[in-house]
Amino acid sequence: MRTADSCDARVRSRAISLHRLLGAMLLTLLLLGSTACAALRDDGEPDTSARDESARWPTLGLRAGAAILTGVDSEVRLDSETLGRGTGIDLEDDFSLEDETTIVRADAFWRIDEGRRHRLELSWFDIRRNGTRVIDRDIQFGDRVFPVNAEVRSFLNTEVVKFNYRYNLFVGEDWEAGLSLGAHVIGFDVGLSQGNLALEESFGVTAPMPVLGAHAEWLPFERIRTLISGEALYIRAEDIGGVFDTNDLEGLLVDARVGIEWEPVDHFGVGVGYNYFLLDAEYGEQALALSAKYDYSGLLVYGTLGF
């Protein structure tokens, strides 16, 4: 059973997340407006003579580089059927996990028709962190109680694979915009251990989080590309353990991204961007139940390849 304080805190958390999502949607609308204005310019058709269509709008593309994550915040609680509600843990504050880290990220796409209406996307990134600290209180984590003044090691690993289908509602010579449908398949592993006392508890889950989104891409200049996308959805599902290793799932996912790219030569370029990610979910698996809130923002620096 959730307490009133827990429910209130989760409602406040989701309200903040909704505000961030609305901000991302506003950015999307602003970009859509700017692209629409560009499409209605009075100075004639855009100059496409400098590059052919395959260079401006490649069929296959890859973006790969580094994501410099800052402000990482991860809060977890692992309940037990025998011991009841677990202790709420802020892994950065309680176990000294770094709130800044750099990871590798890769995004690929395939425009599957010549009219640039349909596009498939695949993304991957993996965040792994651990920390050790002498705790200043008893911590119940699942079926284990870690006593005060014990030196406890913690880890949190999060692997995300994104699948996305995009449909462009609007296609212009130098811009496109539309809606998307997809899923984030998230592998989430968290655990605590204390060697001297032989205490160890961990929880791992792989769960799908379907998302709806909006996106836009614009070439304001011949070799400059801007892009924006936002994806989010709230889900509540039961008995999905036949496909994924979780029985019950309830949560909110938000993933928003903006970027600008420079293509100094055909088919190759560099880009910088900004990404905000939030996962606020509860997973149930037999006797254990995990409540997790995990969010970060970060700078993206990457190279591009398109043909």
Which 3 state secondary structure label does DSSP give 242?
coil
Domains in the chain with CATH codes: 4-41+59-306 (2.40.128.90)
Contact at 8 Å (CB) between 135 and 149?
yes
CA-angle at 150, arms to 146 and 155, nearest 5°: 70
Bridge partners, 305 (sequence order): 62, 268
Distance CA(104)–CA(301), nearest Å, equals 10
* Band of pLDDT at residue 47, cut at 50, 70 and 90: very low
Which 3 state secondary structure label does DSSP give 57?
coil
* Band of pLDDT at residue 243, cut at 50, 70 and 90: very low
Rg for the chain (alpha carbons), in Å?
Answer: 22
Which residue bears the tokens 């903040």?
16
Does residue 114 come out as left (phi exceeding 0), alpha (psi in the -120 to 50 range) or beta? alpha
Q: For residue range 190-239, what is the model confidence (pLDDT) as tens digits? A: 999 998 888 999 998 888 889 999 999 999 998 999 999 999 999 887 65
Residues 6+ apart with CB under 8 A from 179: 166, 167, 169, 212, 213, 214, 215
- List the beta strands (DSSP E) in 172-265: 175-194, 199-221, 224-238, 248-265
Range with the poorest average pLDDT among 34-48, 88-102, 103-117: 34-48
Q: What is the pTM of this model?
A: 0.80
Which residue bears the tokens 């889900």?
235
Q: In this structure, how many other beta carbons lie within 10 angstroms of the beta carbon of residue 124?
A: 14
Predicted local distance difference test score (pLDDT) of residue 247? 59
DSSP 288: E
Bridge partners, 303 (sequence order): 64, 270
Whether the predicted pLDDT of 8 surpasses 90: no
Residues 6+ apart with CB under 8 A from 136: 148, 149
Distance CA(92)–CA(148), nearest Å, equals 18
Predicted local distance difference test score (pLDDT) of residue 50? 52
Q: Which of 246, 273, 241, 272 is nearest to 258 (CA)?
A: 273
Chain-centroid distance of CA 42 in Å reads 39
Helices (H) and strands (E) in the chain, counts: 3, 13
Bridge partners, 228 (sequence order): 216, 258
Residues 6+ apart with CB under 8 A from 101: 69, 72, 127, 129
Q: For residue range 159-169, what is the model confidence (pLDDT) as tens digits? A: 999 999 999 99
Distance CA(301)–CA(138), nearest Å, equals 41
Distance CA(154)–CA(95), nearest Å, equals 7
Whether the predicted pLDDT of 284 surpasses 90: no
Report in angstroms the alpha-carbon separations of 221 from 51, 92, 175, 260, 296. Answer: 12, 43, 11, 11, 31
Whether the predicted pLDDT of 154 surpasses 60: yes
Whether the predicted pLDDT of 146 surpasses 50: yes
